Structure 1
Amino acid sequence: MKYNKSFSAIILIFLMGSCKKVSVNNELQDTYVQFNFPNTYPSGGYATIKNYYFSQKGLDIDTIYLPIKTLGLVPEKQYEVKLEQIKEAQLPTGSEHAIPNVHYVDFSNEDLKKRYLIAPETKEVTIPLVVKRDVSMRGKIVQLSIKIAQSKTAKPGLMNYNRVKILISGM
């Protein structure tokens, strides 16, 4: 009986020592990013529509924080969220497209691009959108439609969740 237990233990140790680490092939090699507005339902192809009003006199620049989340694999390296403006063919009466560096800080601004980098293994963040007040806004609504574009390290997420519309007013 002792002989059988000892023999079984030796075989078990031998088998465990000969195991190889198995790597699992995962087809989801990409990281996807999208806007994260959990209490809203996408409408018209946009994750949400936000209204911003410059209400304080003397306030000429402000920041709107946009929530972002990842889908797919969360990278072990820093990755970038890339934003682009969408210019729609038709705007509501009294509205105009936002002009980069007039109504908002352009997404290619080097200081701002540093804020669009997401730390490794991070799933949710907020990124800044810097809006500006300009005299051309008087009596108008400035529409800034944004989409998440493909960067070197991340792809846009679900279609209805990778676009946001911001309506800016106040003079």
Structure 2
Amino acid sequence: MPELHKDMRKAPARDPRTRYRFFGYLAAYLLCIYGHRSGVLTKIKVKEVKDALGDERAGYLVNVMEHKTVRKFGMAQIYLTSEEYGWCTEWLRFRQRAVPTNHYFFSALGRGEAKDLVKYFRKAWKEMGLRGSPTLMDIRSAVATYNFESNDSEVRQHVATFMCRDVRTQERF
């Protein structure tokens, strides 16, 4: 991430390539840890990152209020260490040069969220030298499978809920 931030500092303000490269790496990182749907990431708002609960010692909790299954599971959450939160605040400083009116964290040049997150993710995946070309749902399924196979039923339930996924879906598939 520090290398990506250096690249962003050097890039012209409205050059989307560096921004989307950063989005791909950050999305890969967060999705591989948490297994959220891509919509959780694309719906994160700048205000939600700025309003994250926590501190440098304990880390930060970002509450995502808008996503596909909010009615069933409530807000989605992403925990960030202080270093990870620093990556996000660094991006917020950079984005002021290019997309200050867009309220989404993973932003397009217009007013909406980044629609091609899977494309950015796959480019980052390939650049990291990883094999294959997984979809974001492949990653979500892998995280869910690992949870199902590695945890007892109580932990499995908590992780599934955190992923905004019904544990019965895990058991069925």
Indicate the TM-score class for this superposition, using the shorter chain for normalisation: under 0.3
Q: Give 1 or 2 for the bigger CA radius of gyration.
A: 1
User: Between Structure 1 and Structure 2, which shows a larger proportion of helix residues?
Assistant: 2
1 or 2, which has the higher strand percentage? 1
Tell me the TM-score normalized by structure 1: 0.24
| Larger RCO, structure (CA 8 Å, separation 6 or more) | 1
TM-score (norm. length: structure 2): 0.24
